[in-house]
Structure 1
Amino acid sequence: MEMWAIWLIVAGILLVLEMMTMTFYLLWLCIGSLVAAVVALVAPEAYFWQVVAGCLVALVLTVFTKPLSRKFRAAKGFKDIGTELVGKQGIVVEPIEPGQYGIVKVGGDSWSATATVPIGRDEKVRVLERGSTIIEVERWEEIS
């Protein structure tokens, strides 16, 4: 199989993975693979330069778009629901055991959750911390 075709297959796989994760990092690798495919069309035997060109493009895109994406995130009106979760109250939908995940509903969203103590179904909890897709919770204690 021709090297340019292999680079296109790699780019396609990276594009599909990017659509699943929405991180933009895999998109830059995808574009780097496309550049490597173009180099492979022009210089089929220059494997080293194919890899260098692809890596260089991916690196440049990653470095120069990081400040831009930070600026968009910090722009007025952007809200990350994850940072707003901390301190909010939720209801346990699936019981939580230490070392295992349960499910907690916070607002209208359901989250995988962990806790240091067992928490049963329908108990109120407070969100302590949020990871990428998992929240850490504790029992909700009413303040008198």
Structure 2
Amino acid sequence: MKLIWLVVAILFAVAELMTTTLTLIWFSIGAVILIFLSSIIDSVLIQIAIFAIISTLMLIIATQKFIKQDKNYKYDTNLQAIINKKGIVKETIYPNQVGIVIIEGESWSAISYNNEKIDKGSMVEILKIEGVKVVVKKID
């Protein structure tokens, strides 16, 4: 019976390698546990029941833990990553008009924070993002 549980563990492990969900690994671990338990439990039905219970419990507990961790994780996207960065004005930003700012080699549409004119070549700091535009202020 140990050999059968080893084969089951390997099959679930190989199947897990073909997915990205981390669900089948718990069944593989459950089968490994049954390799040891099969030496003290003779009934195949009891072994299968224990395998199902252990694997399902591990799956539920792990899933809940990952979901809880994921809720607390703040994802950094390109947008959040540029806040507080410095840039150079490529096209003058006039009051209530859009200009262009170069931030880390990328062109961004920009408006000024205080509706002030910011001349071409000026250094600016990115304060926030509004829609598809960055809001900047001139650095003296």
Computing the radius of gyration from Cα coordinates, the structure with the larger value is 2
Richer in helix (by share): 1
